[in-house]
Amino acid sequence: MSAPASARFAGRRAAITGAANGIGRATALRLAKEGASLALLDIEAAPLAATAEACRAAGAPAVLPLTADLTQEAAVADAFARIGRELGPLDILFNNVGQSARERSRQFHESEPETWRFVLNVSLMTTMLVSRQVVPGMRERRAGRIVNMSTESAFYGDVGMVDYAAAKMGVIGFTRSLARELAPFRVNVNAVAPGAIRTRAHDRLPPEVIDKVRNSVPMGFVAEPEDVAGVVAFLASDDARYITGQTLLIDGGRWMI
């Protein structure tokens, strides 16, 4: 019989990348409230410290904040070595870190390879580098949950952001392939693909753009980071033990149009 929802992650250890703000912060708080011990990783030290403090206040038994640039292989290895020493083996990984280059976005014929590399590194390679740190242990223990961050743009495309859509579709392909590799070891690998979510990036858009996005959502509103956090928590829980290799769209119905 499964534990009550309020304690379903008791005794579990989770790592969340990009944990300082937005969806990463909301997911950290959700897992903290449900009893998980947490390793929180981000490149922004001050908001990461604030998230860590909020998670402690929410009831997390242990919280380890780590400031790191996850595009750097050595930094990833160092961070996860410390997690292993101070927190122990991980049961859950949420690969949330990622970024478009919205301020440098151009239609493809005007875009630059330097921008492509940046977006691919931060939105795809980080997911692969971080996953590489936890997969051997999860295979050995024959248990674990990995949730990767994609985007609805990977499905329908986004003018001026070809690099981001390509990187995030890469995350989906990575998710499916890794799920096949790890299924015999009872390790689940899934992805979430959010649509219009109120994050810092979304808040920087002009009001007319936000209105246009909202009007394109069949449900008629822009979601909050907590709406994604709940889905991540589900995929990380025993309630999703028979789900692997899937990508769940969280977009208020936009993709069904």
Catalytic residue IDs: 164
Q: What are phi and psi of 146, to 5 degrees?
A: -120, 130
Cα distances (angstroms) measured from residue 240 to each of 31, 213, 224, 248: 15, 31, 22, 12
Judge residue 33's burial from the number of C-beta atoms within 10 Å of its C-beta, 0-12 exposed, 13-18 middle, 19 or more buried: middle
Its sign, for the CA torsion 55, 60, 93, 26, is negative
Angle between helices 22-33 and 45-58 (to 10 degrees): 20
Quick one: the chain helix, strand, coil %, rounded to 5?
55, 15, 30
> Of 56, 48, 65, 49, which is closest to residue 31 (Cα–Cα)?
56
Q: How far apart are the first and last CA of the chain?
A: 39
